[in-house]
Structure 1
């Protein structure tokens, strides 16, 4: 099973393109004939603070079950980096009524699948299975919240799995090593300036007691959102959740922990003077690069405008960067992309790609800087390209309606980040109202007039700090 981090790009896609349930899975037309999305969500909050959201869909006898905890890499500190991701692994390694390795095998026997992911802001667990096993699934999830084992021998065994994952994601992956260093440079001195998997020395030292502390502090009902979508009866789900989770006490110290961890001054960029070049040595036979700029967190209107900007300049064959740097007589790159990565309390905008044959890093860097400062914002952004991108975004929203998992993930993300699943209505309105002028202004403000960090990796690079 692939217990892994979201990459930057996949997180951006999850937050920007994941889609919600639409009534009877058919678009409803407004007077303007633009399709819209109407969610039919039933929501409860138990007396202990647990939030439950249910979306009924009787199309097929299947369901998806998602659990969101607001705890991730940013909640760790020196000496405990990687603890939340390590805990995610251990949640599959035994609880009071489900011995080690039984959780996965039980779900497989029921005809389902299960997995999880951890990022800087949250940890998410999810299952898809026949809806006839709703009661079993709820009992299993409640058991690993109430009775997680964290046996020392299994912690040590899983530690080796985490080490191997780190090697696969970072040490043995040029792309992963490049991405990690970019994040460390952009967010230096903030809770986002590290590795969600954790530093090697911290992973070696983490104990069952460390993991238990994170579990007891954050795996509590008032820090939990459960979303179930599919062929279920919402009132029955509510009754089962209440009977299995209702007796778990809310944490009285969660508010203080959150206030401490959510202090916005901790996440602010430490300096605006970030202009820098970093060279990494890796196994890539062709140079790879990321050119990163300080971005914005989830929520502000400009962060939505930057989503549109990233797609206009770097998404697909027809994007400006692809046409200018790849699909040209003398290409500088063999591939290129752009991404606006918005986290809960900050963000980063970056352009990346692979150099074409016989193109040097200094040549690419010089040309790219010139294009960004002098050409891109005017040439790339037009009424046509902005409207095309907005149409693609709306289509992507609808595409996510095809699965219960897409519905549950979409609803849970918004409920967790914004405290209201219906935030999607505001999102769609903002995307639809973004003007070409706004996109150009944001391009000038955050890219053309800003400084960036240029990070490259190549098997011929000499490492720089």
Structure 2
């Protein structure tokens, strides 16, 4: 039973969070340039293994959608595998798999990412595949109808029918009223059903263009040869003809606690606090990230020691900021032990946060925290595919690819006083959404 409970919390964390650990094993050397059509290109040469990662990050996520047509970015994550003008329907993935490679894609609120990892002698094929997707993706009635069914079913399986699957949906629609973060990447199935083929075509024409993308090639390559191949396959793709929609909405302060109860198909209750927080890349974000690690990372963390080990009021705890490009939320949650009251558990969570707000963490604990972040950075960027992702993300989000070499310094610049200050500033009653998840059997 204990293993099942741990697995449950692990699943929740994977559903709600993306890692912000960016590797810093050694200085990552790269070359970057722009094509005349606006495509930004980053090349990273590493001959340690005979593989190459070919990836394209498009600067479009769910926040670029319209309120009555949510889920488009995630829809295209699927549709872009349908095939192209020169690749038969259903054959796209087979090119990679037959060459001994892997491929995938993922969507967030801020960007969409496609990649292949291939034997390095298949670099040219990878570039051809991605250029085909950028220029000739099959956006037609057959593919659209097929993928409508797929994404609607995914919503049912991953959100509607999964215990606690609605957490992010329920949190974000309460934490945000104006900003497009108020909906999640999965979107509304009714919007997908109602959308016409020409709406999907317009979305593709607006966002899946070279001047809204970064191409990263990382691994066993020769820089000049890679540059030549990029020009060959991407140089003639025309720039997008219309202005790319970038939301500029500034969400007003929460100005008061929002509290609600969700009755779900679950057996174990859950208590959740979501605090409104600044955007990733800001000084306060780095301090809040370290604060979340202090609170819940591992058995020696503040919340785990107090709530699980000492008070035995919780079976598991978690705390993590959502690393979004605009101001976001930081989530803290706990699963109560059998027979423990959720209100009592919530107060215990608040008490531990108050300790951080009222007292500096001691030097030994702070040093341990710094060591963990440094160690994670050193050890987490060993894979070529991860480096490619990070290079693309730093450029897309910040226009500064070299943050892959320097962001660790921003974490190391955080002080004990900073951690106390951000706890006082953001982890307040008037700045949080509180949700109790209870079994449907407890509904009056």
TM-score by length of 2: 0.92
Which shifted more, 193-202 or 379-388?
379-388
Gaps of 5+ in 1: 1-5, 23-36
Secondary structure of the residue aligned to 1:334 is strand
Match of 1:248 in 2: 237
Deviation at 1:262, TM superposition (A): 3.7
Match of 2:317 in 1: 336
Secondary structure of the residue aligned to 1:101 is coil
Deviations 1:21-66 (A, max 9, x none): x5xxxxxxxxxxxxxx312101111111111111111112111111
Secondary structure of the residue aligned to 1:176 is coil
Which shifted more, 386-395 or 291-300?
386-395
Match of 1:199 in 2: 188
Does structure 1 residue 360 correspond to structure 2 residue 344? Answer: no
Question: What is the aligned counterpart of 1:174 among 142, 145, 163?
Answer: 163
Whole-Å separation in 2 of the counterparts to 1:460 and 1:7: 19
Deviation at 1:70, TM superposition (A): 0.5
Match of 2:368 in 1: 388
Whole-Å separation in 2 of the counterparts to 1:451 and 1:213: 38
Match of 1:267 in 2: 250
Match of 1:33 in 2: none
CA RMSD of aligned residues (A): 2.1
Secondary structure of the residue aligned to 1:327 is helix
Whole-Å separation in 2 of the counterparts to 1:387 and 1:9: 27
Whole-Å separation in 2 of the counterparts to 1:91 and 1:13: 23
Secondary structure of the residue aligned to 1:232 is coil
Secondary structure of the residue aligned to 1:337 is strand
Question: What is the aligned counterpart of 2:116 among 127, 131, 134?
Answer: 127
Deviation at 1:188, TM superposition (A): 2.5
Deviation at 1:365, TM superposition (A): 2.3
Match of 1:372 in 2: 353
Question: What is the aligned counterpart of 2:215 among 221, 226, 229?
Answer: 226
Counterparts in 2 of 1:224 and 1:166: CA distance versus 1, 3 Å: same
Which shifted more, 177-186 or 316-325?
177-186
Counterparts in 2 of 1:8 and 1:320: CA distance versus 1, 3 Å: closer
TM-score by length of 1: 0.88
Deviation at 1:379, TM superposition (A): 5.9
Deviation at 1:388, TM superposition (A): 1.4
Deviation at 1:318, TM superposition (A): 0.5
Does structure 1 residue 102 correspond to structure 2 residue 91? Answer: yes
Whole-Å separation in 2 of the counterparts to 1:427 and 1:12: 19
Does structure 1 residue 413 correspond to structure 2 residue 402? Answer: no
Match of 2:264 in 1: 282
Does structure 1 residue 142 correspond to structure 2 residue 122? Answer: no
Which shifted more, 278-287 or 204-213?
204-213
Deviations 1:251-299 (A, max 9, x none): 2433xx34xx241xx132x343241221111121010222111101022
Does structure 1 residue 300 correspond to structure 2 residue 301? Answer: no
Whole-Å separation in 1 of the counterparts to 2:182 and 2:120: 41
Match of 1:422 in 2: 402
Match of 2:380 in 1: 400
Instruction: Indicate if the aligned counterparts of 1:291 and 1:455 stay in contact, CA closer than 8 A.
Output: yes
